Structure 1
């Protein structure tokens, strides 16, 4: 620990509601020697200010959309009052707030780029993003380039993301790829495996949206269900396509063997993984998925579970490097079923 480290204060600017966020938890663990401020969005019924050990949470009532003057004023007040030495902002939607606050405060900023945000907006394909993503998300891409240039450092989660930014002109030494690996303590208490020997429980964890390819997993399971009478598919997560997939499982005659748990806590995710036979990452290949690594990949690996994934380059490269699973062509139901 560097001299006087406990006297330093680091602020994390987060666009969502805290708790809970897996990346912020990892930052808090990594910064345990420092005083950490979390400036985030408020939710009805939550306290606007909390203190938990070395972590102090400040919640602001409005949405942290770019160029929000109220957020900027509140952030500056909090930063100045606490003599903040470094600002980490997560993710692109709060880039202007983080960078502007850093300039006015006179401190360095770190852009925590958890994903290729412009490409993610295109992949989400939601009506509310229609204007923003016109022209292949030109405006978000220009905003991202400005944010990368203006930040002191950038953290990405995959080498492929770093390569993309460097090709766009960012200095390679400015960008660090930090993989989304879990803390060993989180998985140790769950045990390596608690699945019954005669049961083949396939598991998907995470959001249930069209670009996640969970429908491919449901259709593939239907193709093997008769051959493996003791097999089941567990979908642990929530999302706008969950109800559609429940209907699909009924139409395919497998509704009693496809189990939707809904949203579960991170600790509960590990218990689901421990009870599984094999774990799935069926995401559809796109610019978004070709430049990121999902948390679930490393969660599955940490629990020593075989992985069956679509052929997204970042995930495929990890699977081949560590020989921890199988890969099928994105969107190929028969290919997944054959694995």
Structure 2
């Protein structure tokens, strides 16, 4: 049996993008093997929805990952993945190696001559630029020094260019990322394939589920963010805007659904305290996946307030399409991919990224003209369900990629 082997430094099936790609290929008769780390008490090998999972190691802790990340940044090789993948390739016949994201590019490339056909690099984001934002709120001087030495964006940009030239095919998450690789590194257009973070149409079934716990206050105008917390997410923009919003919408409340690192959450909570917004900004924390869709649907206004930079301008979150399917009003920042899609379909409101005053203006506009703007929610829904902005159609591009490579 010949396999498409996906290499992932993350949890499976929790990684949404990888799960959708792997399951779609399996649905079309491809043999897919996902190699990923094994945490304590996880099953080493299993098959989920037709996808073969092979978890390596015994207890992949954050500490172990940190050590391997440092070695990888210096040598381009992650020893944990290298030695385990070596074992995997002895037991499985691998036609294609599909490496997920830049950090594992060097490790995957080391096995190029062991792979029967092609190696594919799947760039989930603009990793070098992401490094500039991910660690910007870290307080520890030791961590900041470590990141400066081992996670220098300029060095990682050189790695990106190096491996984009060496891999047979590059998968990008948005058109903006494809254009960036062509412009910056002169990568041939035909080598690049855009496969975006669309959602499956059947995600809409989740909107019928009732949550076990009531999250939103029915007596307020709910402004809801769902997702991870980080410096690039623009949550500080939304919090700062609440002071102005409350002057015109006294019953407005900002609900933050999700979590972030200790430093990130501490900074956001300190901002809320400084602005005396404790009664109007609610840190809800993590909620189970089966509750998220209902929270989106019941919210008056769902927000994606990302700051605009070279990282956020070259990726796109799954939740954009989930919100579009919820028929709930949407407010996004002017990040290029977010603005492009929302304006293309007239599917929501757009504010100037990192501008809390403009964010406040758009929220007040949404509140005052709520019923008049409802048509945008139907446009958003139709864009996903009828106009191709969904994974059901996008996945065919991935299947077609492998069909062409097999010839």
**Cα separation, 2, equivalents of 1:102 and 1:70:** 18
SS state at 1:84 partner: strand
Deviations along 1:46-74, whole A, 9 cap, x unmatched? 23333335222222236464313452232
CA change 1:106–1:34 in 2 (3 A) is closer
Deviation at 1:327, TM superposition (A): 1.7
Contact 1:193–1:275 (CA under 8 A) maintained in structure 2: no
Match of 1:27 among 4, 21, 27: 21
Task: Name which of structure 1's ranges 34-43 and 243-252 shifts more when overlaid on structure 2.
Answer: 243-252
Root-mean-square deviation (CA, aligned residues, Å) is 2.4
Q: Is the 8 A contact 1:193 1:276 kept in 2?
A: no
In the alignment, what sits opposite 1:212?
Answer: 233
Distance, in Å, in 2 between the alignment partners of 1:11 and 1:198 is 51
Distance 1:74 1:282, change over 3 A: same
Name the counterpart of 1:333: 356
Alpha-carbon deviation of 1:213?
1.2
Aligned residue runs from structure 1 range 161-180, under 5 A: 161-167=177-183, 168-180=185-197
Listed one character per residue, the Cα deviations across residues 285-328 of structure 1 (whole Å, up to 9, x for unaligned) are 11111212222222211223322122111211111111112222
Which residue, out of 277, 286, 289, partners 1:266?
289
What is the alpha-carbon distance in structure 1 between the residues aligned to residue 5 and residue 130 of structure 2? Answer: 26
Q: Distance in 2 between matches of 1:266 and 1:165?
A: 34
Deviates more, 1:148-157 or 1:94-103: 94-103
Match of 1:37 in 2: 33
Q: Which region of structure 1 is more displaced relative to structure 2, 107-116 or 49-58?
A: 49-58
Q: In 1, distance between residues paired with 2:296 and 2:195?
A: 23
Deviation at 1:94, TM superposition (A): 0.6
Pairs within 5 Å for 1:292-311: 292-311=315-334
Instruction: Give yes or no for the alignment of 1:181 onto 2:191.
Output: no
> Whole-Å Cα distance in 2 between the matches of residues 257 and 60 of structure 1?
45
User: CA offset at residue 336 of structure 1?
Assistant: 0.4
Q: Tell me which protein shows more helix as a share of its residues.
A: 2
- 2:42 — aligned with what? 46
Question: Secondary structure of 2:10's match?
Answer: strand
Among 69, 81, 87, which residue is 2:97 paired with? 87
**Is 1:158 the equivalent of 2:185?**
no
Report the CA distance between 1:191 and its aligned residue: 4.2
Unmatched runs of 5 consecutive residues or more in structure 2: 58-63, 139-143, 363-407
- Report deviation, 1:44: 2.4
After superposition, the C-alpha distances for 1:169-212 in whole angstroms (9 at most, x for unaligned) are 11101111112111121222314999998642111112212221
TM superposition outliers: structure 1 runs of 4+ over 4 Å: 191-199
Unaligned 5+ residue runs, structure 1? 1-6
- Give the Cα separation in 1 of the matches to 2:305 and 2:337: 13
Bigger shift: 210-219 or 121-130? 121-130
Residues 86 and 121 of structure 1, relative CA distance in 2, 3 Å threshold = same
Map 1:110-189 to 2 at 5 A.
110-124=120-134, 125=136, 127=144, 128-134=146-152, 137-167=153-183, 168-189=185-206
Q: 1:297 to 1:72 in 2, by over 3 A?
A: same
Contact 1:113–1:157 (CA under 8 A) maintained in structure 2: yes
- 1:200-243 per-residue CA deviation (whole Å, 9 max, x = no partner) reads 21111122122211011112123222432432211111113223
Work out whether residues 307 and 324 of structure 1, in 8 Å CA contact, stay in contact via their aligned partners in 2: yes
* Residues 222-278 of structure 1 deviation map (CA, whole Å, 9 limit, x = unaligned): 322243243221111111322332333334333233222212343332122111111
- Determine which of 83, 87, 92 is the counterpart of 1:77: 87
SS in 2 for 1:50: strand
Normalised by the length of structure 2, the TM-score is 0.75
Q: Which string of whole-angstrom CA distances, capped at 9 and with x for unpartnered residues, describes residues 135-168 of structure 1?
A: xx22111111111111111111111100011111
1:12 aligns with 2:12: no
How many residues get paired?
331
> 1:201 aligned to 2:197?
no
